[in-house]
Amino acid sequence: MRRGLAFYSKLYIKILKQDLKSKMSYRADFIISNIGMILTNLVGFLSFTILFNNFSSINGWSKYEMLFLYGFALLALTPVQLFFDNNWSLRFAVESGDFIKYCFRPINVFFYYISEVFDVKGLGQLAFGIGTLIYAWSHLDLAVTPGIIVMLLVNLFAASFFMIAMMNFAAATCFWIRGSGIVMVLMFKFKDYARYPVTIFNGVFRILFTFIIPIGFIAYYPSLAVIRPGEDLFLSYLSLPIGIVFFILSYEFWMLGARKYSGTGS
């Protein structure tokens, strides 16, 4: 039985409300988790400050342009943290056999599994990302117009698709590979490179981070239209359609593994 977007939206809101109620019953954990996330990102912010105390720019990119990329990357990564964190536990559910319970409900398996977890730590990352972006924006003297704000939001939306897709692909390898945790960790580590412009890498890595492991689309390409509108924006304008396609492919790969699992009764 096929169900539409309206059905899943209403269902997710109900699930989210219940999840937040349970989490807010442990308010100390909620506060500590978000403070921890903010402090973690503060370390990254300070590393940029220390770096630019010694260098005026990196390959032509100024301190505040780099901070813009950093804040943009944090915001683009927030949906992964908030809504798709359960991917980290997928391999345990598959290996223990607990995943089989998701195969018997009359709703989408991917939705059912992913919707179980809302990671509140992502709210701290969201707050820090917004603060960093505003701080960098003010020092770059960028215009603030409705058109630019819309462009920023659309490009952030596009950028999020890439990281979500990367983690979907990595998580779903557990349907075929035992000990696939290393794939998840490795793919997640690549996000650290997203805060840097692709142009600082040599030709091989530039191709790798654009077309194979597309971390360049997490911050660099989508943000160019805002901070450097005079540059070649071909890939910037393609961020949204490519991101959607990449996400759909990752979803189909995830679902292929889920169907294989239920079909074999693993």
227-264: pLDDT as tens digits = 988 777 899 999 999 999 999 999 999 999 999 886 44
Considering its fold, how many domains does the chain have in total? 1
Residue 135's pLDDT is: 92
Provide the pLDDT confidence category of residue 85 given band limits of 50, 70 and 90.
Answer: very high
- Between the alpha carbon of residue 43 and those of residues 2, 39, 47, the distances in Å are 46, 6, 6
Whole-angstrom Cα distance, residue 236 to residue 260?
Answer: 36
Which of 223 and 20 is assigned the larger pLDDT? 223
Using the structure block, give the residue that is written with the tokens 């075929």. 176
58: phi then psi, degrees, rounded to nearest 5: -125, 110
Predicted structure pTM score: 0.88
Model pLDDT for residues 39-65, shown as the tens digit of each residue: 877 877 787 778 777 777 777 888 899
pLDDT at 218 over 50: yes
Residue 263's pLDDT is: 47
Model pLDDT for residues 138-170, shown as the tens digit of each residue: 999 888 899 999 999 999 999 999 999 999 999
Residue 2's pLDDT is: 63
Residues forming beta bridges with residue 57, ordered by sequence position: 62
Domain extent at residue 132: 5-264
